[in-house]
Homo-oligomer: A and B are copies of this chain.
C-alpha cells in the first residue's frame, strides 16, 4: 500500500532507454492484460504475471499493491483513451452533421472508434476488449466496474440519440443500448466461436465484416423499437 502510493513519483526526467522503472511497469501491465483477458481475474496468479513479464513476484506488489489493484490498473490504463476517443468521435459527428444526424450515424460514431482502435492500435487492445467483455458479463462486480469506468460516454450516446429522435422514450434508449453493447462486446472480444459455428465462413478477427453489418444492425433495431413504442 505504501508502495502503491509512491507510483506518483517524479516522471518528467528524461531517462536512457533501458527496460527499467516505468518501462517495466508497462511490461507487467501488458502481461497481466493478456492473462486476465484469457483466463479472467481469478484464473490468473500473480506468479504467472511475474513469470510472463520476466520479473520477480514481489515487484508486482511493489508497483501495484494487491492483485485487485493490479487488475484495476490494467482496466484503467486504456479506459481513458477509449472514452476520449469515443467522446471526440461523437462530438465531431454532432458538430459536422447537426440537424442532419441519423441514428445510424450516431451509433457509428459510438462504435467505430473501438473497431478502429482494435484494428490499428496493436495487439494489446484486442486483449483489452476481451477483458472488458468478460467484466461486462460478470454479475458479482462487473456491473459496478463497468459503470465506474464507462457510464459517462454511454450517457452521451443516449442523450445524442434523444436529440435525433426526440419522441423516443428513455426506457427504450437504455434497453437498446443494452442490446447494442452485448453485440458489440462479443464481436470485439473475438472469441473464435463464429469461426467454428460457420465452419470457416466467418472469422471473428474480421472486424471489417463487423463494421459492414453491426452499425446497420443496431440502427435498424433501434428504429424498430422506437417506432413500436410510439405506436403502442
Interface positions of A (Cβ within 8 A of B): 37-43, 130, 133-134, 136-140, 142-144, 146-147, 151, 154-155, 170-172, 174-187, 189-194, 196-198, 201-202, 204, 209-210, 212-214, 216-225, 228
Contact = CB atoms under 8 A, between A and B. Distances in A.
A169 B180 CA distance: 23
B140 A137 contact: no
A217 B179 contact: yes
Given A39-B140, A42-B43, A139-B130, A178 B186 contact: yes
A146 B191 CA distance: 11
Contacts of A138: 40, 134, 191
Given A42-B43, A43-B42, A198-B171, A137 B136 contact: yes
Nearest to A44: B42
Interface of chain A: mostly helix, strand, loop or mixed: helix
Given A179-B187, A183-B178, A151 B197 contact: yes
Given A137-B189, A179-B187, A189-B137, A225 B216 contact: yes
A216 B178 CA distance: 14
A212 B185 CA distance: 23
Nearest to A178: B194
A39 to B, nearest CB: 6
B182 A187 contact: yes
Nearest to A188: B182
